[in-house]
Structure 1
Amino acid sequence: MPELPEVEIVRQSLDKKIKQKSIKKVIIRNKNLRVPLPKNFSSFLMNKKIIKVDRFSKYLILNFKSGEFCLIHLGMSGTIHIIDIKKKLKFTNASFYHSPILPKKHNHIELIFNSLKVIYNDPRRFGFFELVENSEKLENRFKNLGPEPFNLNFNLNYVFNYFEGKNKNIKTFLLDQKFVSGIGNIYASEILFLSKIYPFKKASLLTREDCKKIIYYSKKILLRAIKKGGSSIRDFKDTLGSSGNYQKEFKVYQQEGLRCKTIGCTDTIQKKIVSNRSTFFCNSCQN
C-alpha cells in the first residue's frame, strides 16, 4: 500500500497537471470499489473546477472552486494515470505500485479535462472515492485520525501521554492511524531501527527520550522519502519516467538475512510476521 511519501508524490503530480482545470466528462466503468460510488458521482464532479490538490495522511483531496471536495484513497493496489490527449506519453503512472504504463484492465474511472484525462486503475478494488459537501464535513471526516508526523500536534507531550498505560507494542501504534496518520509498514520498520527501539516493546515502557527519537525520525525519514520520490518496491516510474529512490536507503525493510548496516554491528536483520504484517529489525541494535 502506498504510504504518505508515495501519496504525496501523486498529489504533486496531480496538482501540477489538473490545478485550475475543470472536469468536462466523467466515465465510470466499474462503480464497485471498496465503497460503491455514490449515485450522484458523475453529476457532482461535472464542470467542477479544481483549485488545488491537497493530501491528508494517505488521502488525496481534490479541492473544488465550489467549496466541495472529492477524496481519493488508493487502497492496496490503486494507481492514477495521467494521459495527455494531445501528446502520447510513454509513462503515465503518477502513483506508486505496478506498471508505469497504463494497464489494459481495471481502469474503473476516468476524469476527462480539455487536454488530458486522469484514470483510476485498481486490480483489487480496495481504493475508493468519497464526495464531501463542505469544509466542515471534511474536517469532521478526519476527526478520528491522529496528526501527521509533520504536524505540530505530533509532539513529545502528545506521544508520551498517548502511550501511558498502553500494552500494545510500539510497531502496532505506528501503524495505527488513530495515533499518527500516514505511516505504514515500510517506514514504521525504518523509524524504529534508527530510533534503536525494539518493535515489540510495550508502548507504556517507552521513555521520553524514546518518544523524542520516534518523533524526530518519523519526520526525517518521511521527508527524505518524499525528496527521493518515494520507495519503488517494484518497477515504478512516474509520468516523467523517474523512479522512487528511497528503497536504496532501506536499513531493515526487506533486508532479512543481510548484515546490519550499523557500523560495528555483526548481527543480521530479522523478520517476524505479526498480524499478517512483516516487521524487520536488528536484535542487537534495537532493544
Structure 2
Amino acid sequence: MPELPEVEIVRKSLNKKISGKIINDVRVKNRNLRLKIPKNFETNLKRKKIKKIGRFSKYIIIFFTDNSYCVVHLGMSGTIHLLNTYSKKKFTNTSFYHSPHLPKKHNHVEIQFNNLKLVYNDPRRFGYILFINSEKELLKKFEKFGPEPFSKNFNINYVKTYFRNKKKNIKNFLLDQNFVSGIGNIYASEILFECKINPLISADILKEEQIDKIIKKSREVLKKSIVKGGSSIRDFKNTSGNRGLFQNEFKVYNRENLKCPRITCRGKIFKIVVTNRSSFFCNKCQK
C-alpha cells in the first residue's frame, strides 16, 4: 500500500498536470470499489474546475473552485494514469506499483479533460473515489484521524498524553491512523531503527527523549523519502520513467539477516510479525 511519501509524489504530479483544468466528461466502468460509486458521481464532477490537488495522510484530495472536493484512496493496488492525446510519452503511471503503462483491465473510472484523460485503475478494488459537497463534510471525513507527522499538533505533549496508561507496543501505535496519520509499515520500521527503539516496547514506558526522537525521526525519514521520490518496492516508474529511490536507503526494511548498517553495531537485522505485519529491527541497537 502506498504510504504518505508515495501519495505525496502522486499529489505533486497531479497538481502539476491537472490544476486549473475543467472536467469535460466522466465515465464509470465499475462502481463496485471499496465504497460503491453512486449513480450521481458523474453528474457531480462534470464541468467542475480543479483549483488544486491536496493530500491528507494517504488520501489525495481534489479541490474544486466551487468548494466541493473529490477524495481518492489508492487502497492496496490503486494507480492513477494520465494520458495525453497528443503526446507519445511512454509512461502514464503517477503511482508507485505495477506497470508504468495503462493496463488493459481494471480501469474503473475515467475523467476526461481537454487533450488529457485521468484513469483510475485498481485490480483488487480496495481503493475508492468519493465526491464531497462541502468543507464541513470533508472535515467530518477525517475527524477521527490523528495529526500528520509534519503537523505542529504532533508534539511531545500530544504523544505523552496519548500514550499514558496504554500498553500497546510502539510499532502498532505508529501504524494506528487514529494516533498519527500517514505512516505505514515500511516507514514505521525505518523510524524506529533511527530512534534505536525496539518495535515491541510498550508505549507507556517510553521516556520523553525517546518520544522526542520519534517525532523528529518521523519527519526526517518521510521528508527524505519524498525527496528521493518515494519507495519503489516493485515496478514503479513515474511519468518521467524514473523509479522512486528511497528503497535504496532502507536501513532495516526487507534486510533480514543482514548486518546492522551502523558501523559501531555488531547486530543483525531480525524480522518478526507484529499484528500480521512484517517488522524489521536490529537485535543489538534496538533494545
- The question of a shared fold, defined as TM-score above 0.5 by the shorter chain, is answered with yes
Q: Write the deviation string for residues 128-173 of structure 1: whole angstroms up to 9, x where unpaired.
A: 0111111111111111000000000000111111111000000000
Q: Which amino acid aligns with 1:105?
A: K
Q: Write the deviation string for residues 10-50 of structure 1: whole angstroms up to 9, x where unpaired.
A: 00000001000011011111110011101211000001000
Q: Corresponding residue for 1:197?
A: 197
How far apart are residue 88 of structure 1 and its match? 2.2
Q: Corresponding residue for 2:30?
A: 30
Mean alpha-carbon deviation: is it higher for 161-170 or for 265-274? Answer: 265-274
Distance (Å, rounded) in 1 between the aligned partners of 2:159 and 2:263: 30
Normalised TM-score (structure 2): 0.99
Q: Corresponding residue for 2:248?
A: 248
SS of aligned partner of 2:44: helix
Q: Which amino acid aligns with 2:198?
A: Y
Distance (Å, rounded) in 1 between the aligned partners of 2:283 and 2:166: 23
Q: Corresponding residue for 1:124?
A: 124
Q: Write the deviation string for residues 183-234 of structure 1: whole angstroms up to 9, x where unpaired.
A: 0000000000000000000000101011000000000000000011000001
Q: Corresponding residue for 1:115?
A: 115
Distance (Å, rounded) in 2 between the aligned partners of 1:43 and 1:231: 36
Distance (Å, rounded) in 1 between the aligned partners of 2:160 and 2:187: 20
Distance (Å, rounded) in 2 between the aligned partners of 1:96 and 1:161: 35
Q: Corresponding residue for 1:227?
A: 227
Mean alpha-carbon deviation: is it higher for 203-212 or for 82-91? Answer: 82-91
Distance (Å, rounded) in 1 between the aligned partners of 2:100 and 2:259: 32
Kindly report which structure 2 residues correspond to 1:208-219, keeping only aligned pairs within 5 A, or say none.
208-219=208-219
Kept in 1: contact 2:232–2:243 (CA 8 A): yes
CA RMSD of aligned residues (A): 0.7
Moved over 6 A (4+): none
How far apart are residue 278 of structure 1 and its match? 0.3
Q: Corresponding residue for 1:266?
A: 266
How far apart are residue 66 of structure 1 and its match? 1.1
How far apart are residue 274 of structure 1 and its match? 2.0
Q: Corresponding residue for 1:162?
A: 162
Q: Write the deviation string for residues 77-133 of structure 1: whole angstroms up to 9, x where unpaired.
A: 000011111112211110111111111111111001001011001110000011111
Distance (Å, rounded) in 1 between the aligned partners of 2:38 and 2:56: 22
Q: Corresponding residue for 1:47?
A: 47
SS of aligned partner of 2:151: coil
Distance (Å, rounded) in 2 between the aligned partners of 1:34 and 1:242: 30
Q: Corresponding residue for 2:180?
A: 180
Distance (Å, rounded) in 2 between the aligned partners of 1:238 and 1:114: 22
SS of aligned partner of 2:47: coil
Distance (Å, rounded) in 2 between the aligned partners of 1:98 and 1:285: 35
Mean alpha-carbon deviation: is it higher for 135-144 or for 225-234? Answer: 135-144
Kept in 1: contact 2:172–2:275 (CA 8 A): no
Distance (Å, rounded) in 2 between the aligned partners of 1:171 and 1:106: 34
Distance (Å, rounded) in 1 between the aligned partners of 2:17 and 2:199: 40
Kept in 1: contact 2:269–2:282 (CA 8 A): yes
Distance (Å, rounded) in 1 between the aligned partners of 2:33 and 2:270: 36
Q: Corresponding residue for 1:10?
A: 10
Q: Identity of counterpart residues, as a percentage?
A: 59
Normalised TM-score (structure 1): 0.99
Query: 5+ unaligned residues in a row in structure 1: which ranges?
Result: none
SS of aligned partner of 1:226: helix
Distance (Å, rounded) in 1 between the aligned partners of 2:89 and 2:26: 21
Distance (Å, rounded) in 1 between the aligned partners of 2:62 and 2:88: 25
Q: Write the deviation string for residues 222-279 of structure 1: whole angstroms up to 9, x where unpaired.
A: 0000011000001211001111000000000000011110112222101011221100
Q: Which amino acid aligns with 1:69?
A: Y
Kept in 1: contact 2:272–2:279 (CA 8 A): yes
Tell me, yes or no, if structure 1 residue 105 matches structure 2 residue 105.
yes
